[in-house]
């Protein structure tokens, strides 16, 4: 399963639990109502469904992997000489703890 099912389960439970408490405190449902038990279970199910569906979006987006930077020395800036263009690849940041620590 892709996504984050544990996070979805925990979030869904708390959403249903506090939703039930809120409905009880505002007098919408009585304390002896089975809805207070059903809402957290429904929240867990909805949390799992949303976690399975995540990440939200229309699909993969194309990322640009090359950037360019221009620089001119002070003498080139005064004249008509073109500046230098440097192209470099953008790498992902290394994950924490994967480096060579001495």
**Structure confidence by residue, pLDDT tens digits, 54-96:** 776 656 666 656 555 556 666 555 555 566 666 767 776 666 6
pLDDT (tens digit per residue) in 38-53? 999 999 999 999 988 8
Give CA–CA dist 26/73, Å, rounded. Answer: 70
Asked if the structure places residue 44 within a domain, the reply is yes
As given in the structure block, the two tokens for residue 61 are: 């987006």
Domain span at residue 45?
A: 5-53
Q: How many domains does the chain have?
A: 1
In a domain, 49, yes or no: yes
Does some domain include residue 48? Answer: yes
Residue 97's SS3 state is coil
**Confidence class for position 14, pLDDT limits 50, 70, 90:** very high
Flag whether 102 is in a domain.
Answer: no
Specify the pTM.
0.53
Q: What is the pLDDT of residue 61?
A: 62
Domain contains 14: yes
How far out from the chain centre does Cα 38 lie?
29
Q: Is the peptide bond before 66 cis (omega within 30 degrees of 0)?
A: no
Q: How high is the pLDDT of residue 34? A: 94
């Amino acid at each position: 399963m892709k996504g984050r099912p544990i996070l979805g389960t925990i979030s869904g439970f708390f959403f249903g639990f506090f939703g039930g408490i809120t409905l009880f405190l505002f007098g919408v449902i009585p304390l002896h109502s089975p809805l207070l038990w059903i809402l957290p279970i429904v929240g867990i199910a909805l949390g799992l469904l949303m976690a399975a569906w995540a990440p939200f979006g229309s699909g993969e987006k194309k990322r640009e992997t090359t950037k360019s930077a221009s620089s001119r020395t002070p003498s080139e800036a005064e004249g008509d000489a073109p500046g230098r263009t440097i192209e470099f690849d953008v790498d992902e940041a290394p994950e924490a703890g994967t480096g060579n620590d001495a």
